[in-house]
Amino acid sequence: MNTMMLLEMAMSGFGDRVAFTDPADGGSSITYQELYDAAGAAAHDIRESGASRVAMLDVSNIAVPVALFASGWAGVPYVPINYRLTGEEIDALLARVTPAYLVTDDERLPHFQDRDGVDARSRGTFLGAARSGDGHAEQRSMDPEDVGVLLFTSGTTGIPKAAVLRHKHLVSYIVSSVEFMSAAEDEAALVCVPPYHVAGIASTLSSVYAGRRVVQLANFSADAWIETARHERITTAFVVPTMLSRIVDALEGEKTAGMSHLQSLSYGGGKMPLSVIEKAMALFPDTDFTNAYGLTETSSTITVLGPDEHRAAATSEAEEVRRRLVSVGIPLPGIEIEIRDDEGNALGTDQRGEIYVRGEQVSGEYEDRGSTVDTEGWFPTRDAGFLDAEGYLFLDGRADDVIVRGGENMSPGEIEDVLLAHDAVRDAAVVGVPSEEWGEAVAGAVVVNSDTPANDDLIADLQDWVRSHMRSSRVPESIAFWPELPYNETGKLLRRVVKAKLTAPAQNVRAAMPLLYVADIERSRAFYCDQLGFTLTNRWDADGRLNWCQLEMEGATIMLQSAEPDDLGGLRNGHGDVALFFLCENVDDLHEQFTGRGVDAPPPTVAFYGMRQLSVRDPDGRELCFEHPVSAA
Amino acid sequence: MATLSAGKRMKSAVCATEIMVIAAPDGEVDLCCGGTAMGDGESNGGAVDADHADGTAIGKRYVNEDGSLEVLCVKAGEGSLSVGGSALNVKDAKKLPKTD
């Protein structure tokens, strides 16, 4: 079982069809037969090189599918690297996959020549050799356990994790969700997601298996997308929400997009604002819309809201059916979904919890960390959501996004939905910020429509609006107007950034709940828990790292929070280490908590500061810098 | 008779058919094509049995009656697939929307 087998079938089923077209390269194309031949020759070259990984550092072009299938053929994992990263970040990722067979663009090539463990060649050299070589005799790797693809996740913090997708996961996904040779000869897919995104891998494999020509769009812009879609008479395309939003904006003033050839448009990768999808449905009246939800760790799509479900929801009288327009639909065949609470108990209909998924295509494995899948095959997605009575899945932020205000749990997503329904609001994000009174307070950042004055009257109006739709505890205590919200390039809202920006330093100091920002939460946890015997509750972030601990002590609860140098103003001390600060209501009480546990004096480098006394600044003028307590212990 | 596991590829001994196992029950399975047991190797020089000559189609999935065995045809041939004398049937593909 190997992705190469999918190409082999395509080659024998419809070898002379065009497989990929690259408009940026003068419209050069490759047929399935040529792709197969090139993959065989490149597989030979990869094996000769002795590399352990095939690294691709380039935009979409014809060398990308050749390298993907060649690495499958050779049984060497394929590792697409994000070319938008800094040189330093790219070097760090590359160092993790040596000895590497690297394919990159001409401009970058000199940078990697003579690099230890990196055997680099340009896209042109790679493609030239592959298309003139002969690899038909090259032996094929067929072990289903072979690693097909390593994908570095786009985690917003920390070191990127390498998600492991084995051939069995990828082939299962394609065979169970795509009908072989189901595309008509004139069908063409416009692929604008980058090669290092799981949707880029999935679109390559599914298009090859279906026999659908792929038109590659290396650098997305709304104008280029529209122009290419019209010129190439595209029949199907996938976009992330930010892309669709820009396409809709670019078509402003036009009645329709004039793309009757576009049969289907699927979207996913982030939350789609209702206003965008409604405008898009009006601009593309002949197009079927599909919402797909999936993760890197699940080999792409796991649930789908198809065109029929879109229409049924849009035209229904019943509220519980109509709301399915903003759901991500129902699981693919062979996929099971379960919603669980924090303790791992399965939840019922309409109850919000963490989304667990199980199926043949689900990997849930990371390099050097092993599998996060439990003994029964369930993978915790870290996404939060709920299932309705008919099994439609609704996403509701990340499992860690929940706001705890005065002991009441609330999800940012439902407050955002209410804000977005206000006429003046174009985009909205809601987060919890530290609050003296509530532990966490609801804070909002709003992008208003250009014709609306952003002033205090509007804040009051928006607060009234939320109050008229939800319980008053959901009303944002503060609302900031921003020109735009921070999204990553594939359309995911960077909630941490919103939170950091809305948590001004002044508010930090006012926080009633004592906070410890620590450089190494694992070591700190060991210190407080094992050495001092405090009771700790652990919480993990989206990347599976310990993110914060709740430390229970008499008369006080303390939260240990991982210091994120980029968020919260880079809490670095003068020595360049990430430092901690310690806020508390009553210094003496807190002090006693340590001395009462047999610590004669607090660790020498920990300082206890009452929050109102706190005015220490680091060399950059930032507040708060102390040594890490454990490093001194 | 052979023990089958997902991912295993097998060839017909009497025609061009090749399959890949998608799901298989535990234990030995008597998977035949054209009336002759499938294997890893080459043609045995025999002919397709007239009772098992409906052919296989590339890209189609075939299942036994209880659905415990599912194979994907990766190369078409003249023989048809059977287990213990009972023909495998083409699994109806549920039409799914294009997602990527």
Cβ atoms of B72 and B6 within 8 Å: the answer is no
Q: Given the DSSP bridges, would you call strands A213-216 and A18-22 parallel, antiparallel or unpaired?
A: parallel
Please choose, from the candidates A82, A147, A155, the residue with its C-alpha nearest in 3D space to the C-alpha of residue A544: A155
Q: What is the pLDDT of residues A358-375, one digit of tens each?
A: 999 999 999 988 899 999
Would you state the pLDDT for residue A633?
A: 23
Over residues A511-530, the mean pLDDT reads 55
How many other C-beta atoms are found inside a 10 Å radius of the C-beta of residue A522? 14
In angstroms, the Cα distances linking A231 to A120, A222, A226, A261, A297 are 35, 14, 9, 11, 35
Who has greater pLDDT, A419 or A503? A419
What whole-number distance in Å separates Cα of residue B55 and Cα of residue A86?
A: 55
What pairs with residue A427 in β-bridges?
Answer: A447
Chain B residues inside the 8 Å CB shell of A295: none
How many other C-beta atoms are found inside a 10 Å radius of the C-beta of residue A81? 24
DSSP 8-state symbol, A435:
E
Return the amino acid letter for A180.
F
Residue A498 binned pLDDT confidence (cut-offs 50, 70, 90):
confident
Please choose, from the candidates A160, A166, A197, the residue with its C-alpha nearest in 3D space to the C-alpha of residue A56: A197
How far the first Cα of chain B sits from its last, in Å, is 40
pTM, to two decimals = 0.74
Pinpoint the alpha helices (H) of A484-633. Answer: 495-502, 505-510, 521-526, 587-595, 629-632
Would you state the pLDDT for residue A596?
A: 64
How many other C-beta atoms are found inside a 10 Å radius of the C-beta of residue A585? 16
Q: Which helix (H) or strand (E) holds B70?
A: strand B70-75
Would you state the pLDDT for residue A616?
A: 36
Among left, alpha and beta (phi > 0; psi -120 to 50; other), residue A50 is: left
Q: What is the pLDDT of residues A168-194, one digit of tens each?
A: 999 999 999 999 999 999 999 999 999
Q: Check CB contact under 8 Å for A238 and B9.
A: no
Cβ atoms of A190 and A212 within 8 Å: the answer is no
Who has greater pLDDT, A109 or A577? A109
Which residue is closest to A178 within chain B, CA to CA? B96
Q: What is the pLDDT of residues B19-67, one digit of tens each?
A: 999 999 999 999 999 999 999 877 777 899 999 999 999 999 999 999 8
What whole-number distance in Å separates Cα of residue A617 and Cα of residue A570?
A: 12
DSSP 8-state symbol, A368:
T
Over residues A58-87, the mean pLDDT reads 95
What ipTM was assigned to the predicted interfaces of this complex?
0.92
Return the amino acid letter for A316.
S
Q: Average pLDDT of chain A? A: 81
Residue A29 binned pLDDT confidence (cut-offs 50, 70, 90):
very high
Would you state the pLDDT for residue A572?
A: 32
What whole-number distance in Å separates Cα of residue B64 and Cα of residue B68?
A: 7
Chain A residues inside the 8 Å CB shell of B24: none
Q: Given the DSSP bridges, would you call strands A393-398 and A379-387 parallel, antiparallel or unpaired?
A: antiparallel
Return the amino acid letter for A348.
G
Q: Check CB contact under 8 Å for B96 and A306.
A: yes
From the list A180, A301, A333, which residue is nearest B99 (CB)? A301
In angstroms, the Cα distances linking B86 to A95, A446, B56, B82, B90 are 55, 65, 15, 5, 13
From the list A5, A168, A238, which residue is nearest B74 (CB)? A5
Lowest mean pLDDT among A127-136, A419-428, A510-519: A510-519
For the domain covering A403-503, report its CATH number: 3.30.300.30
- The B residues from 3 to 62 touching A (CB cutoff 8 Å) are 6-7, 9, 20, 22, 58-61
What whole-number distance in Å separates Cα of residue B22 and Cα of residue B64?
A: 12
Would you state the pLDDT for residue A532?
A: 64
What whole-number distance in Å separates Cα of residue B32 and Cα of residue A390?
A: 41
Q: Given the DSSP bridges, would you call strands A53-57 and A100-104 parallel, antiparallel or unpaired?
A: parallel
Q: What is the pLDDT of residues A528-553, one digit of tens each?
A: 667 666 666 665 555 555 555 555 55
What pairs with residue A216 in β-bridges?
Answer: A191
Q: Delimit the domains of chain B by residue range.
A: 2-88
From the list A12, A238, A292, which residue is nearest B75 (CB)? A12
Over residues A281-299, the mean pLDDT reads 93
Residue A525's contacts (CB-CB under 8 Å, 6 or more residues apart) are A536, A538, A546, A549, A560
Chain A residues inside the 8 Å CB shell of B95: 179
Q: What is the pLDDT of residues B61-95, one digit of tens each?
A: 999 999 899 999 999 999 999 998 899 999 987 77
Cβ atoms of A447 and A436 within 8 Å: the answer is no
Q: Check CB contact under 8 Å for B7 and A144.
A: yes
Residue A206 binned pLDDT confidence (cut-offs 50, 70, 90):
very high
What whole-number distance in Å separates Cα of residue A477 and Cα of residue A463?
A: 8
Chain A residues inside the 8 Å CB shell of B57: none
Q: Check CB contact under 8 Å for B99 and A266.
A: yes
What whole-number distance in Å separates Cα of residue B87 and Cα of residue B90?
A: 10
Over residues A330-340, the mean pLDDT reads 94
What whole-number distance in Å separates Cα of residue A405 and Cα of residue A407?
A: 5
Q: Is the pLDDT of residue A24 over 60?
A: yes
Chain B residues inside the 8 Å CB shell of A290: 97-99
Asked if the domains at A403-503 and A510-632 fall in one CATH topology, the answer is no
CATH class of the region A510-632: alpha beta
CA distance B65 to chain A (A): 18
Phi and psi at B23, nearest 5°, equal -145, 145
Place of tokens 């002590």: A553
Residue A348 binned pLDDT confidence (cut-offs 50, 70, 90):
very high
Q: Delimit the domains of chain A by residue range.
A: 403-503, 510-632
Q: Check CB contact under 8 Å for B60 and A180.
A: yes
Chain B residues inside the 8 Å CB shell of A195: none
Helix (H, G, I), strand (E, B) or coil at A28: strand
Cβ atoms of A290 and B99 within 8 Å: the answer is yes
What pairs with residue A535 in β-bridges?
Answer: A552
Would you state the pLDDT for residue A511?
A: 31
Helix (H, G, I), strand (E, B) or coil at A54: strand
Cβ atoms of A538 and A606 within 8 Å: the answer is no
Q: Is the pLDDT of residue A242 over 70?
A: yes
What whole-number distance in Å separates Cα of residue A332 and Cα of residue B26?
A: 25
Which residue is closest to B7 within chain A, CA to CA? A1
Chain A residues inside the 8 Å CB shell of B17: none
Over residues A54-72, the mean pLDDT reads 97
Q: Check CB contact under 8 Å for A144 and B61.
A: no
CA distance A290 to chain B (A): 7
